[in-house]
Every structure is written in structure tokens, then in C-alpha cells.
């Protein structure tokens, strides 16, 4: 094959291609993700050192930005974070036009964000080819709440709360550089007209599901307050629930806890 085609392949033109096929695009945190990786050779033979997979998500951070003067302002930016990564350490030579297929299975982290609102989770697959642009594939995933978290959301909805916004916000003090914040507003029920907002963070830690709450009673907004309080270690309203609890019971515990902290 001509040097011209080899040069094009090194630039990603006419080179190997990769396509990851998901058996299911809807998953739960901690669930197994089965995938099939299809690799097809280009116009020239290429050495593949490895196949890498990255489970990625987005979160929002505030960074200082200079406007050309001495004053620095904080600006919100979207950051990408790799939740997990896996490799298939199988070096091989991919002949021109050759097709190969790999089947594998990976476990999602238990604190993979739920894909509601602006929260996005996707799987990237990269072929590691020396001296060439790595062929890539990107597949979005839909992550739904597990039975316990789903029961918490259902209990809040039955108590008159409506999910208004979901964001992954940067914070300190956690294994990840961010937390996922669920913002609820009471539209009916016992808290309507008394609370303005309820913010919730959930985190699986060992054998417990921990819930953190921030409540705005003063009609002035708590947006982002929960993440800031967590970063400063100042948030006291938290509830730890064993993962062995029946989903039928967790909603009652959450509502009983909210009734307890409702007394200012």
C-alpha cells in the first residue's frame, strides 16, 4: 500500500474504525454494562496496541476569568470527568478491511449520575494506534434511579414536591469532584406555601445510602447552597439509610425525617 494511504491513515483518514454496540442504553448505577466492540480495518494495515473505554459525565464548576483588567470574575463552565475507565490489553495487527469483534462487560460505579436535566453520561471507546490519531466512538447512556432512590423521589412527589432542576455541581469533600443536586419545589401538600425549595444530594457509601438536605423557608432561594455547605463541612441535615432496607419503607423514613426538621 502506498505511503500516501499510510499517511492518510495516520491522520485518521481511511484508517481503522471502531463502533461500540450497547446491548441496552438504559441502566442503573452499579449495574453491569455489556458491550460489543466492532473494529474494522481501513485501507492499510495498522497495529492496535489497546482498546480503551471511558465512562464520562459533565459537571458544572466556577472558575476565575479575567476580562482584561485586574478584576477576576467567577464564571460557570462545563467540565468533563471520567467516572471509570477500562482497557482490553490485547495488541493485534488489523489488516486492511479486516473486521474484528470483542465482547466485554463492565460494572458502572454506584454513584454514576442520574441522567435527568443537564446531567449527561456517555461511553467513549478509543483504539490506541501508535503514531496515528486514535479512532473513537461515543455512545450516550441513560441512567435511571435505582429502586431505593426511585422510592425517595416517589415519596417526595406524593408529599407534593415537584422536581424542578438537576445539576452536577463541583464541590469538595467527596471521592468525586462534584455532587448531583436534585432541586424540588412544593406545589401542594403540607409544605406548600411554607417551604420555597428543597435541595437533595444522595451518595452511596459502603452499605448505606446517605441523603443530605437543604431547606429554604425564607423565600430567598437556596440554589447551589447545598453543594457549598457540603464543601465547607457545614451541612448537618443528613440521613443514612442501610442499602438493605425495603424500597417500600424508605419513603416513609424520608418523609418522617422531613417532618422532624420542619420545626425551625
Rounded-to-integer distance, Cα 178 and Cα 198, Å: 19
Q: Which three cell numbers stand for residue 25?
A: 442504553
Report domain 3-143's class.
mainly beta
Q: Which three cell numbers stand for residue 224?
A: 447551589
Give the residue extent of every domain in the chain.
3-143, 147-261
Q: How far is CA 48 from CA 35, 124, 131, 148, 149, in A?
A: 19, 17, 11, 42, 42
Most confident region among 87-96, 105-114, 130-139, 216-225 by mean pLDDT = 105-114
Dihedral of the CA atoms 161, 165, 169, 173 (nearest 10)?
Answer: 10
CA atoms within 13 A on the CB side of 235: 25
Nearest Cα residue to 224 out of 186, 257, 181:
181
Q: What is the pLDDT of residue 110?
A: 95
Rounded-to-integer distance, Cα 136 and Cα 38, Å: 12
Q: How far is CA 62 from CA 68, 80, 229, 234, in A?
A: 18, 13, 15, 20
Question: Model-level pTM?
Answer: 0.84
Collapsing DSSP to helix, strand or coil, 83 comes out as strand
What are residue 162's DSSP bridge partners? 185
> In this model, does residue 76 exceed pLDDT 90?
no
Nearest Cα residue to 164 out of 155, 150, 153:
153
Q: What is the pLDDT of residue 12?
A: 45
> In this model, does residue 13 exceed pLDDT 90?
no
Percent of the chain at pLDDT above 90?
Answer: 56
Average pLDDT, the chain: 84
Rounded-to-integer distance, Cα 28 and Cα 58, Å: 18
Taking only the tens place, the pLDDT of each residue in 157-210 is 999 999 999 999 999 888 899 999 999 999 999 999 888 899 999 999 989 999
Spatial contact of 94 and 45, defined as CB atoms under 8 Å apart = yes
The least confident of 56-65, 100-109, 146-155 is 56-65
Rounded-to-integer distance, Cα 137 and Cα 216, Å: 43
Question: What is the separation of C-alpha 30 from the centre of its chain, rounded to a whole number of angstroms?
Answer: 12
Q: What is the pLDDT of residue 7?
A: 39
Q: Which residue has the higher pLDDT, 155 or 97?
A: 155
Q: What is the pLDDT of residue 119?
A: 77
| Mean pLDDT value across residues 16-43 | 91
Amino acid at each position: 500500500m502506498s505511503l500516501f494511504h499510510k499517511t492518510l491513515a495516520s491522520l485518521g483518514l481511511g484508517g481503522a474504525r471502531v463502533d461500540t454496540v450497547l446491548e441496552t442504553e438504559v441502566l442503573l448505577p452499579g449495574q453491569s454494562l455489556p458491550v460489543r466492540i466492532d473494529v474494522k480495518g481501513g485501507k492499510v494495515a495498522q497495529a492496535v496496541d489497546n482498546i480503551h473505554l471511558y465512562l464520562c459525565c459533565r459537571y458544572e464548576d466556577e472558575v476565575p476569568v479575567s476580562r482584561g483588567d485586574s478584576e477576576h470574575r467567577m464564571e460557570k463552565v462545563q467540565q468533563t470527568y471520567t467516572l471509570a475507565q477500562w482497557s482490553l490489553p490485547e495488541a493485534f495487527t488489523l489488516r486492511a478491511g479486516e473486521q474484528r469483534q470483542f465482547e466485554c462487560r463492565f460494572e458502572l460505579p454506584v454513584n454514576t449520575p442520574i441522567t435527568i436535566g443537564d446531567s449527561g453520561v456517555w461511553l467513549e471507546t478509543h483504539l490506541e494506534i501508535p503514531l496515528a490519531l486514535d479512532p473513537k466512538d461515543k455512545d450516550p447512556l441513560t441512567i435511571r434511579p435505582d429502586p431505593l432512590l426511585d422510592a425517595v423521589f416517589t415519596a417526595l412527589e406524593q408529599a407534593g414536591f415537584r422536581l424542578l432542576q438537576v445539576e452536577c455541581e463541583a464541590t469538595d469533600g467527596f471521592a468525586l469532584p462534584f455532587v448531583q443536586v436534585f432541586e424540588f419545589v412544593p406545589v401542594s401538600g403540607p409544605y406548600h406555601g411554607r417551604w420555597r425549595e428543597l435541595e437533595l444530594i444522595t451518595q452511596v457509601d459502603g452499605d448505606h445510602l446517605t441523603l443530605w438536605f437543604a431547606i429554604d423557608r425564607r423565600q430567598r432561594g437556596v440554589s447551589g447552597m447545598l453543594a457549598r455547605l457540603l464543601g465547607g463541612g457545614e451541612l448537618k441535615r443528613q440521613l443514612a439509610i442501610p442499602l438493605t432496607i425495603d424500597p417500600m419503607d424508605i419513603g416513609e423514613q424520608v418523609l418522617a425525617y422531613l417532618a422532624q426538621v420542619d420545626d425551625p
